[in-house]
Structure 1
C-alpha cells in the first residue's frame, strides 16, 4: 500500500538512533536517511524525564517509521541550516476515526 502522504515527506534527513550509553557518552547507530516534513517552530515540549524543554523544530514522517528514541541525532538538510540536532521527545500520532492522517514525529533541540 502506498503512503497517501508520501508527497509530504520531501526532505531527506540523516538519523543516528541512540542505542545506549558508553564510557565516553551516548552511542549511536550508523546514520540512515529518512524522508520527512520539517516544521521550524520553537515550542515547549516535555522531555522523557518530565522536564520542560524548548524544541527548535519538529520532524514528521510516516507512522511506520522505526522509533527514534530521545538522545538520537538528526542532521537537517542544508536548506534548514544543515545542523545536527538532538531528539528531545518523540510521539506517534494516530486518529482512530481516520479523520486526520497518522504520522510519527520527533522534536529537536
Structure 2
C-alpha cells in the first residue's frame, strides 16, 4: 500500500463543541463504509457539565458508536479524562465506564 492510498482511507473530524462530538459519533461515523478502526480522543474533553442533558448527549454518542460496531465490528479506542471525583473512573459516569470492555489508565509519573 502506498501512503496516498492509506491517507485516502483515513477520516479525521475535529469538533469544537460537545454537540459537534455527538453529531459526528451519532450520525457521521455510521454513514462511512468499512470502518476498521475508530479512535475517539477525549470523548468528554468538551463536556460542559454534569447536567442530565449532557449525559443524554453522551448516550446518543455511545449509541452511534454501537451502531457502527454492529455494522463494521471495528477496533474502537476511546480516551477520556478522569472524573474529577475519582482516581480511576473516566469522566462520563457509568455510561462511559460500562461501555468499554477494557479500561486502561495511563499515569504520567515524573
Q: For the superposition of Structure 1 and Structure 2, which TM-score range results when normalised by the shorter chain? A: under 0.3
Structure exhibiting the larger radius of gyration computed from Cα positions: 2
TM-score (norm 2): 0.22
Higher percent of residues as strand: 1
